[in-house]
Structure 1
Amino acid sequence: MSAQFSSECKLARPDAEALLDRYVGLGILRACQGSASIFAVALNGSRWMIECPDVLSAELKQLFRGIAIPMEPGCRHEHLVIRLNADRYELTAAGKSIGVLGRAEIIPAIKAFLTEALLQTDFTLALHAALLRLGDRQLLIAGAPGAGKTTLALALSAENGGSLLGDDIVIVDEKGALRGIPFPAAVKRGSWTLLQTFQPGVTSCPTYVRSDGKEVRFIPGDIDSDHIAPARSTTMIFLRQNVARRQSLSKMSPLLAFQRLLTEAAAPTRRLTDQAFAALSKAVNISGVYEMEVGPLGQAVEIIRDL
């Protein structure tokens, strides 16, 4: 661990060892048998140093590559520790145990923890939605849980010129610009077959179990610094539950779109400020807004491509 810490933090080996010893003394890290890995992630201005067993390291770094940052000496980091004990993983943050989980549960638990940590940072407004770049356009997809926004977003991102910028959380800045948070997209079991044509790799991804008992597979978002930078939305699509599996697309009023986005939006201290209200209004008013029922996935992709 000291060799890796020395390399990633650009410290002399003795300094790295002394710093690790200090972390152990403070209870931030725990001296243990077996090798461990350390890497860092950024969550909207806050930094987290993650210590995990080597057996998880490559997997975590791949899944969370969109928020990974270099380790920098002198920077303040919060600390998340994953410890392996027999066949169970203990998740600890700031010295407090978050839970003890099995192998299939630990990755969803880490994503859930980092999501909650992100929502404790300083931001104007956060939307529960997916954000994509389609060529020179930006597309936001919103909908109630189970409406199929992740499935549609991943299918669209496979298009030529398509990129998934965020699957679950979209930050609205004070000017009404949108920025997706590039956590890995969680694909539920019912969508694995639907996505095979668009995302062939989904068939070989490991299967995990979320805290709600649902089986998911994770697909990392597309990483490009130009894509992650805030950009104005041009199109918003609100998915509607579609039991009959019929295909439809219709114009939607900006007022209704505003109300729908607010239904599952999050704001610091759970209070919608005048600034957040104005920012969301601006984001909606400069966008083309539609409501959609998704039938066959391929048809839905074609319709949106031709908008």
Structure 2
Amino acid sequence: MLEKTSAEMVLRPAAGAVFALLDGRSVLFSETRQKIYELDQVGAFIWCKLAQGASLEDVHQELGQLGIDEQAARQFTWQAMNIWIDRGLLDLDWRMSANCAFSTVLGQRRISVRAANWDLLQRLISLFCVPDDSGGQEDIAIETMVLDDQVFFRGNDASIHRCKAAALAPTIKAHITERLIRSDHWAFALHAASLAKCGMGLLLCGQPGAGKSTLALELVDAGFQYAGDDVALIGADGTICGVPFALTLKKGSWELLSRLYGDWNGVTHCRSDGAEVRYLPIPDAHNGCLSASWIIFLNRVASGPVELTSLDQLDSIKRLIEGAFAADGKLSQAGFFALKRIVAGARSFQLTYSESAKARRLLMDLCNGKA
């Protein structure tokens, strides 16, 4: 059960949303969407009460006086409110204390997270490896609060998003990642985990499910410095900046997590794709730029020996392009030349493996000059 919010929230019609009666039928007109939405009798009652400044509890009580039981009143109210929020008809405004806050730096951008209570903040702190309270202008600001067991958050653009409490951290992570990718500072991004060994960068490339996070966990345990397990931001000069969110581990990795870190009882979060994940913050995460010395394309198979296959620059750059994505959906010429610089300065391999422990040993030998 979520802790009650300590923030003050106001629900009110959005600018450009007006209520009207047409032949006795209740409608809402959205100037923004240029659409008319018809309301049933209960919906019209709820809208008018909220427009008059009534609280949700007031609305529920008055629906009760009309013969609607409390559970049904809450269900009707939230069904209507969720539709209105999604259509931009209803605004939620809140003010919260600056004390319940956390800040960090990711992708050379300052991230600020403020929550209505400590329960919400703790759910989000687990997303990040290293706090940074040095101050300075925030580039990405997130505010989140809970109302009647629903969780809402807003970013710099002030638009309201909602999700279940269990999905809050993954949803915020996706929101921040998208903002970082859209930053003008980076040419494009790669689906890749990034690690450092003696100042040299290692990229583990692969689409979701390729095993990047599990293998990154193995390598961190072997002494590599963690720099990110999902997305690597690429500058026009070919420099690589990992995004060191906490390691995201799905159910298949929890046994390994427990072996390495004892009985790990981290909070379980639910992603939009339905996967259950846990987050492992890495205290000494690398939070700067790297030059890639090794590029590893993961090929996880059901069984068989572990094997490294050397790739030439052309094959490597083709594979990197397949895993690259930019804010506008296109890899620019500058992005292509950035990739060219990366592969020219690195050795590229395909890693075929079925067991992460064996892959770990082979990658350690490679980075130590033994493979």
Q: Common fold, TM-score beyond 0.5?
A: yes
Counterpart Cα distance in 2 of 1:77 and 1:148: 31
In the alignment of these two chains, the number of paired residues is 273
Q: Secondary structure at 1:174's aligned position in 2?
A: coil
Compared with structure 1, are the counterparts of its residues 31 and 274 closer, same or farther at alpha carbon in structure 2 (3 Å cutoff)? closer
Per-residue CA deviation, residues 68-118 of structure 1 (Å, 9 max, x unaligned), is 45443xx365542211123321122333211232x3211111111111111
Compared with structure 1, are the counterparts of its residues 78 and 233 closer, same or farther at alpha carbon in structure 2 (3 Å cutoff)? closer
Per-residue deviation, 1:60: 2.6
Residue range with higher mean Cα deviation, 85-94 or 282-291: 85-94
Per-residue deviation, 1:180: 0.7
Per-residue deviation, 1:299: 1.6
Aligned match of 1:210 in 255, 268, 271? Answer: 271
Partner of 1:135: 198
What letter matches 1:230 in structure 2?
C
Per-residue deviation, 1:150: 1.0
Point out which structure has higher relative CO (alpha carbons under 8 A, 6+ apart): 1
Compared with structure 1, are the counterparts of its residues 276 and 300 closer, same or farther at alpha carbon in structure 2 (3 Å cutoff)? same
Compared with structure 1, are the counterparts of its residues 40 and 91 closer, same or farther at alpha carbon in structure 2 (3 Å cutoff)? same
- 1:186 pairs with 2:248: yes
For structure 1, the residue ranges without an aligned partner over 5 or more in a row are 1-26
Per-residue deviation, 1:273: 2.1
- 1:280 pairs with 2:344: no
Counterpart Cα distance in 2 of 1:164 and 1:92: 29
Partner of 1:241: 300
- 8 Å CA contact 2:129–2:283 kept in 1: the answer is no
Partner of 1:124: 187
Per-residue deviation, 1:46: 4.7
Partner of 2:357: 298
Compared with structure 1, are the counterparts of its residues 247 and 41 closer, same or farther at alpha carbon in structure 2 (3 Å cutoff)? same
Per-residue CA deviation, residues 241-285 of structure 1 (Å, 9 max, x unaligned), is 302243221111221221111112122423322221111111012
Calculate the TM-score normalised by the size of structure 1. Answer: 0.80
Aligned ranges 1:237-276 → 2 under 5 Å: 237-276=296-335
Aligned-pair identity in percent equals: 28
Partner of 1:14: none
Q: Secondary structure at 2:232's aligned position in 1?
A: strand
Partner of 1:38: 101
Compared with structure 1, are the counterparts of its residues 270 and 55 closer, same or farther at alpha carbon in structure 2 (3 Å cutoff)? same
Per-residue CA deviation, residues 37-84 of structure 1 (Å, 9 max, x unaligned), is 123344545544322122132443343244745443xx3655422111
Per-residue deviation, 1:164: 0.9
Calculate the TM-score normalised by the size of structure 2. Answer: 0.67
Partner of 1:15: none
- 1:60 pairs with 2:136: no
- 1:159 pairs with 2:218: no
- 8 Å CA contact 1:202–1:217 kept in 2: the answer is no
What letter matches 1:165 in structure 2?
A
Q: Secondary structure at 1:139's aligned position in 2?
A: strand
Per-residue deviation, 1:204: 1.9
What letter matches 2:101 in structure 1?
I
What is the RMSD computed on CA atoms of the aligned residues? 2.6
- 1:106 pairs with 2:165: no
| Bigger Rg over Cα | 2
Q: Secondary structure at 2:152's aligned position in 1?
A: strand
Per-residue CA deviation, residues 159-184 of structure 1 (Å, 9 max, x unaligned), is 13x11111111122222221111112
